[in-house]
């Protein structure tokens, strides 16, 4: 289990920078509108890196949303990353106001983790799944069902954080990483899975059931 507080640990350097800039603006008595903007940006930075507790539903065969955001794609693809199996891709887009801490979607074991360098296209675009910088993870449930999920960097995202290593076993809803400043997470489900949501629906990481295996 990853130790955590109300704010993701990766956010503290950024929060410190934003707060120092706001303090400098206050100290040097910059124009009031600019000072207000600097402090609003500092507050936003804290809000961006928030890491709230979540209550994860329990039940056999549940697949839980790995990210906060909105569903932007539900489609069948010929090959899922890492597994190579036909799958139903389920994509969640996170904007700059979403919680960006990612959660493990199933109770299971990590089999493979693969990083790919790439572009920084708008993460809402479908081609971002194959062209953007991304971290692919293949996990398997206790019953042997493979699930691939992929952290995809976005237009302003420049850092994917993933704590996972092959061989780790996690519970559904466990924290496994984050992506900074706007991004998406793709989940590749077996074709037999029953998807519970559709395009435009909102998700809450660690709480929303997106499918049943």
pLDDT digits (tens, 9 = 90+) for 189-198: 999 999 999 9
d(CA 118, CA 136): 13
Catalytic one among 83, 91, 129, 183? 183
Same domain, 66 and 155: yes
Neighbouring CB atoms inside 10 A of 155's CB total 18
Q: 27 lies in which domain range? A: 9-48
Same domain, 31 and 93: no
pTM of the model: 0.84
| Residue 1: per-residue pLDDT | 47
Same domain, 74 and 43: no
| Residue 132: per-residue pLDDT | 77
- Is residue 121 domain-resident? yes
Same domain, 116 and 196: yes
Q: Please give the DSSP secondary-structure letter assigned to residue 143.
A: T
pLDDT per position as a tens digit, 15-70: 888 888 888 878 877 777 888 888 888 887 787 778 889 999 999 999 999 999 99
Q: Which two tokens stand for residue 41?
A: 């940006």
Active site residue 183: yes
pLDDT per position as a tens digit, 68-122: 999 999 999 999 999 999 999 999 998 878 888 999 999 999 999 999 886 666 5
Q: Is the pLDDT of residue 170 over 70?
A: yes
């Amino acid at each position: 289990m990853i130790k955590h507080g109300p704010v993701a640990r990766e956010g503290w350097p950024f929060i410190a920078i934003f707060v120092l800039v706001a303090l400098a603006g206050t100290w040097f008595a910059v124009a009031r509108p600019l000072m207000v903007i600097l402090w609003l940006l500092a507050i936003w930075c804290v809000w961006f890196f928030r890491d709230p507790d979540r209550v994860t539903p329990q039940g056999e065969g549940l697949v839980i949303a790995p990210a906060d955001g909105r569903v932007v794609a539900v489609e069948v693809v010929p090959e899922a990353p890492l597994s190579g199996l036909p799958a139903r891709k389920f994509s969640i887009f996170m904007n700059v106001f979403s919680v960006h801490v990612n959660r493990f979607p199933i109770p299971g074991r990590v089999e493979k983790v693969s990083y790919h360098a790439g572009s920084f296209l708008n993460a809402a675009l479908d081609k971002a799944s194959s062209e953007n910088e991304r971290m692919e993870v293949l996990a398997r449930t206790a019953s042997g069902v493979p699930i691939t999920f992929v952290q995809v960097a976005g237009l302003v995202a420049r850092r994917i954080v993933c704590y996972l290593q092959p061989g780790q076993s996690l519970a559904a809803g466990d924290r496994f990483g984050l992506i900074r400043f706007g991004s998406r997470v793709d989940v590749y489900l077996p074709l037999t899975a029953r998807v519970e949501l559709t395009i435009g629906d909102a998700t809450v990481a660690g709480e929303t059931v997106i499918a049943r295996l």
